[in-house]
Amino acid sequence: MKNIFFQVEPPLRARLLPLVMLLVAFLAQTALAGTWFVKPSAEVPLRRGQGKDYRIVAVLQNGTPVELLETEEPWARIRLASGKEGWILKRYLSSEPPLGQQIVALREEKKNLEQECARTRRELQDLTAANAQTEKELTACLIERDRIKADFQTLQQDTADVVRTKKKLTDSLLRVKNLEASLSAAQAENSTLKKNARLKWFLAGGGVLVLGWLLGLITGRSRKRRSSLL
């Protein structure tokens, strides 16, 4: 008879346990990251190990910044800014800065905010002045636009007047030419009339002379006839 072995799958809880442990370790490491501070107290000894029997390697003052490396309740392993490492009771650590440092930080933040507020106020004043200057320039531009528009309308009117005046001038020149032509014709006619009048007067004078001569001639003959009769 052959031996038959069955492979039994581990329960789901047993399979997930390593993953859960890794997740917890990751979260714990994440929580340890960052800068921690020593809580207010007289002095906090930094020891080589977990217990009062270990040698003190440093004495920490209130507000000393430290790097939290790991925790094993009730102890915590930390690293100083100098690079020195050791263990202290975890209850002496806080993720919040000391009150004094917070006050200093708040005062500094207040100072920065006041400076920022003053700078913003100056910028607002500059913007207000610039806006007033812009409005002034805009008003001047509108006035200039209206003046140019009025000048343009006047120019259009003047152009129309010039066109009308030019037309009137052309008509007047035409009439003058016509009048000059009429005057020339009248002068020519007048000259002809004068010539004709002088000719008439000449002919009339000649006629009078001829008539006088004829009368004299007739009168002389009559006198001669009377003398012969006597």
Asked if the structure places residue 228 within a domain, the reply is no
| Mean of pLDDT values over 126-148 | 91
**What is the Cα–Cα distance from 202 to 208, expressed in whole angstroms?**
10
Among 80, 96, 112, the domain-final residue is 96
- Entry pTM: 0.35
Question: Is the pLDDT confidence value at 59 over 60?
Answer: yes
Question: Is the pLDDT confidence value at 184 over 60?
Answer: yes
Total structural domains within the chain: 2
With a pLDDT cut of 90, the percent of the chain lying above it is 15
**What is the Cα–Cα distance from 135 to 146, expressed in whole angstroms?**
16
Residues 74 and 106 in one domain: no
Asked if the structure places residue 190 within a domain, the reply is no
Asked if the structure places residue 207 within a domain, the reply is no
> Mean pLDDT, the chain, as a whole number?
78
Helices (H), the chain: 12-32, 99-229
- The pLDDT tens digits of the residues spanning 187-211 come to 888 888 888 777 777 777 777 787 7
- The pLDDT tens digits of the residues spanning 211-224 come to 777 787 777 766 66
**What is the Cα–Cα distance from 46 to 75, expressed in whole angstroms?**
11
Q: What is the CATH number of the domain that holds 16?
A: 2.30.30.40
Asked if the structure places residue 187 within a domain, the reply is no
Residues 89 and 121 in one domain: no
Residues 34 and 88 in one domain: yes
Strand, coil or helix: what is 71? strand
Asked if the structure places residue 155 within a domain, the reply is yes
Largest CA-CA distance found in the chain, in angstroms, rounded = 228
Burial class (CB in 10 A: 0-12, 13-18, 19+), 88: buried
147 compared with 18, residue with greater pLDDT: 147
Asked if the structure places residue 2 within a domain, the reply is no
> Phi/psi of residue 7, each to 5°?
-90, 115
Parallel, antiparallel, or unpaired for β 65-72 and 35-38? antiparallel
DSSP structure class, residue 96: S
| Mean of pLDDT values over 75-103 | 85
**What is the extent of the structural domain holding 121?**
97-171
- The pLDDT tens digits of the residues spanning 91-116 come to 888 887 777 777 777 888 888 998 98
Among 61, 96, 131, the domain-final residue is 96
